[in-house]
Amino acid sequence: MKLRHRLAIYFALGSSALLVTSRLATLASFQRVQQYELDRGLKARAEEEGNAVALVGRKALEAEYEGKYEGKEDEDEPDPLEQLVTYGALYRADGSLVADTPSFANAPSLAQLGINVERSARDADCFDFKFRDSTLRGVVVEVKGASEKQYLLLAASRRDMDADAQQLLAVGWWVLVIAVPSSLVVGWWFGRRTTRGIEDLAASARRVASGELDVRFEPDRPRDEEVAALAAAMREMVGRLKTLLETERRFASHAAHELRSPLAVLRGELELALRRPRQGSEYETFLRDALDDTKRLANLAENLLVVARSGARGASQPTELLDVRALIDEAIASSRARVPEAPPIEVAGADARVRGVRDDLVRMIRNLVDNAVEHGAGAEPVRVQVTSQGLDVAIVVENDGPGVAEEERDRIFEHFHRGADARAISGAGLGLGIAREVAARHGGDIMLDSTANPTRFIVRLPTVRTSGEADDQAARRDA
């Protein structure tokens, strides 16, 4: 079932329930008010009639309903309560009838009516009882001052009060009959208005799923904050998806190109070696060249795998507490194994510890060292220094090479980017980009110090201090 239809049904059910509840509450309140007014009038008239009976006797009851006793003939407008209170009967203490009104002619005894006269007179509460085919509302009061103990029963018919309640209930049902279809229509309109923006976004999402990445997610009613927020989130999602797909296409294109070139070189060298018979030393030279090309291919393949997995690694990898100097030593050893003829590498600085993934951090430092070796000034040493900077540890890698051109400084961390002066140097342009991604996954960053001469790359990572170091730092701060 569509959301708009569910909203219409929920709206109709809620409106109907609210309407029924309000009508029932109104009916109950109406009946309660009417009954309260009737009871109040009955009690007042009963006290008045009881006093009259005590003074005049049983004739007062008969005269009351014939309009003959004192003061009644002078009234200009009749009391509405007098028109209702038309039933009256006077009883002895034993429940036998003494006198009654014409409307209550041949009134049954109190026992026949099921009335406990003493309790009713003591509580002075009104009650309902049946008389012939009518339901009456009555009250019993004791006639005080009479020669013998007597009780007066005054009653009024509930017919008009019940008829008013039935009429009000009937009106309520007719209102409900009209309100339910109306609430369905209003609920359908409200649901359609509410879901229109969502349906438009869903249609746009289906177009994106079919390959149209240029779809704009613009809701018809931007004033609806929820729909506008959903549209903004979907625009951001599609934007990132486009960027991801473009990056993936570019990555696949660059990877194919970078793999094709060394493979072509390796194939050419092998074909040249097999073109004619050669001496053993010549074959050895070709094999060594092929081995170097194979190493470069292996390094390229490794870097490509690192880039391809970079989105799924990092936060899910187990971390450990690592010594920075040990990481640097391991990275330098790996770099020297790859390039045995590399210039000397000098390491200096304080001890520091970081938390992270060992293999990733070693690869980050090794890529920076490899970059410094490849772009260095011949036999000049590469320098690696560790310093503490507040809550961070800084790893500085520098060489005495030609530096980085101004126009290249913003692009050197892009994958597959190689500077104009680095075309003759082996490599695919992945090392610095991988190093920055590793630093970012560990809460740090890598930057090129553009003011430095020689070329200097600075890695900043959050450091991990021992409790003693933290106490010493706090003591120095307090001092």
> Best-predicted range by mean pLDDT among 258-262, 285-289, 427-431, 456-460?
456-460
What does the alpha-carbon distance between residue 434 and residue 359 come to, in Å, rounded to a whole number?
A: 13
Assess whether pLDDT exceeds 70 at residue 221. Answer: no
Contact in structure between 201 and 227 (CB atoms under 8 Å)? yes
Specify whether the CB–CB gap between 88 and 49 falls below 8 A: yes
- CATH fourth-level superfamily of 3-66+79-167: PAS domain (3.30.450.20)
Nearest alpha-carbon partner for 87 in 131, 35, 43: 131
Delimiting residues of CATH 1.10.287 domain(s) in the chain: 225-310
Q: What is the mean pLDDT of residues 231-241?
A: 83
pLDDT of res. 326: 92
In three-state secondary structure terms, 387 is: strand
Q: Is the pLDDT of residue 126 over 80?
A: yes
CA 142 to chain centre: 70
Helix residue ranges, H only, 85-224: 110-113, 117-123, 159-209
Which two tokens mark 424?
Answer: 């003759």
How confident is the model over 411-415, as a mean pLDDT?
74
Q: Residue 31 corresponds to which tokens in the numbers above? A: 């009946």
Distance CA 384, CA 332 (A): 10
Give the model confidence (pLDDT) of 342-369 as tens digits. 788 889 987 889 999 888 899 889 889 9
Among 176-190, 248-262, 319-333, the least confident range:
248-262
Distances (CA, A) of 198 to 208, 210, 240, 307: 15, 18, 21, 37
Tell me the C-alpha distance between 59 and 64, whole Å.
8
Pairing of strands 382-389, 345-349: parallel
Q: Please, which pLDDT band fits residue 451 given cuts at 50, 70 and 90?
A: low
| pLDDT(220) > 90 | no
CATH topology of domain 225-310: Helix Hairpins (1.10.287)
Kindly indicate the confidence band of residue 169, based on its pLDDT and cuts at 50, 70 and 90: confident
Residue span(s) of the chain under CATH 3.30.450.20 come to 3-66+79-167
Mean pLDDT, all residues of the chain: 76
Q: Give 413 or 136, the one with higher predicted confidence.
A: 136
DSSP state of 102: G
User: What's the confidence (pLDDT) of residue 255?
Assistant: 66
- Give backbone dihedrals phi and psi of 192, rounded to 5 degrees, phi first: -65, -40
CATH number of 316-469: 3.30.565.10
- The span from the CA of 307 to the CA of 367, in Å, is 13
SS3 assignment for 184-202: HHHHHHHHHHHHHHHHHHH
- 315 has pLDDT over 50: no
Backbone angles phi, psi at 374, to 5 degrees: -65, -35
Domain with CATH 3.30.565.10 in the chain: 316-469
Q: What is the percentage of the chain residues whose pLDDT exceeds 90?
A: 6
pTM exceeding the 0.75 threshold for the entire prediction: no
